[in-house]
Amino acid sequence: MVAMWEVLETAERVAGKSQLVEIDQQALIAFSEQIGADDIKVPQWDSFHHYCGSREETAFYLLVLDSINFCFWAPSGKIRWQIEHQPDKLSGYFGLAVALKQAAESGVPITKADYLSRLTIDQLAMILRGKGELPLMKERLENLRELGHVLQAEFGGEALKLVEAAKGSAVTLVRLLAAKLRSFRDVAEFEGHEVFLYKRGQLFAADLYGAFDGKGWGHFHDIDKLTAFADYKLPQVLRHVGIFNYAPSLAGRVDQEIHLEPGSPEEVEIRANTIWAVELIRRELRRVGNKLRAFEVDWILWNLGQNEDFREKPYHRTRTIYY
């Protein structure tokens, strides 16, 4: 039995009061059956695009990656940021993961707190050099400098000491990140109540689990309490398979790629319903004997979203550091 915690509790509350996003239960059941019928597997950890050094360097790299893993869509009229990685050109998350991997492998000390605390915009631009425009560069720099300062001040400059402070609890690690780092404080408000989303903090815990194969620094006794990581790709997939129905006013704004303000009712409903829909999929799978956890359902959905077949409709646009 998975215990409830603040992310799931507040997501359920928002889902119950949503006016703009509806979860289609029949479509959700049908999609859950399809996962089982098609024998869809949980994606394995991608060591090709991610850096793997010592355990300390690997954990630090993942924390750096998840500190600036957000908002890759290009502004209107601009070319989307991408990097060369033979034989491919990579954009989005994979581009970021590889750019940081290449930096680490070439000797740029991105896994040193002192370096991050003094990082300049020119140095960051060199690390993330490519074609097109990567938005929110100033905010990415601020996040990394904050990370460097906090690690130096409270954790001896080591990412693993931060992980150790969670004492094997994924939930504690997520809460610790939110308490210590402004950039991980992914909390919104809906009808006068706080909504805890914690996308990147939860992702860091899951990434540690994946990179270390659920052992050692990747072992968390409560990994099953992680929820979906509410971003802009999962709602796109959920809408494509019919689980999400948007009210006409919201559908029009998303389809016309009109910016949704961070923290707006529209945006909070989309993100909270994403978390709740994945939880309902998890429960439906569990009902028929499939023991996938919520973060694993997230991984499946996100990977489906990399397929052009699932990009028929646009994803919602929100300029934010949280996803």
pLDDT in tens, 267-301: 999 999 999 999 999 999 999 999 999 999 999 99
Q: What is the DSSP letter of 59?
A: H
Write down the pLDDT at residue 288. Answer: 92
Tokens of 98: 């590889």
The residues of the chain scoring below 50 in pLDDT are 1-3
Q: Cα(133)–Cα(137) distance, rounded to whole angstroms?
A: 9
Closest CA to 18 of 313, 282, 272: 272
Catalytic residue among 186, 207, 231, 298: 231
Q: Does residue 317 sit within a domain?
A: no
Is 231 an annotated catalytic residue? yes
pLDDT computed for residue 307 by the predictor: 92
- Give residue 1's pLDDT: 35
Residue 313 backbone zone (phi > 0: left; psi -120 to 50: alpha; other: beta): beta
224 domain-assigned: yes
pLDDT at 153: 98
In this prediction, residue 37 carries a pLDDT of 82
Does 322 fall in a domain? no
46 domain-assigned? yes
Q: How many structural domains compose the chain?
A: 1
For residue 315, being part of any structural domain is answered with: no
The pLDDT tens digits of the residues spanning 138-147 come to: 999 999 999 9
**Is residue 222, in this structure, part of any structural domain at all?**
yes
- Domain assignment present for residue 321? The answer is no
Q: How far apart are CA 27 and CA 237, in angstroms?
A: 12
Residue 24 lies in a domain: yes
Q: What is the pLDDT of residue 3?
A: 46
Residue 187 three-state SS: strand
Query: What residues make up the domain containing 123?
Result: 6-310
pLDDT (0 to 100) of residue 232 = 97
CB–CB of 269/21 below 8 Å? yes
Beta-carbon contacts of residue 216 (< 8 Å; ≥ 6 apart): 55
Q: Are 228 and 276 in contact (CB under 8 A)?
A: no
Q: Which pLDDT score is estimated for 59?
A: 98
Q: Given this model, what pLDDT does residue 4 score? A: 59
Residue 202: the pLDDT is 98
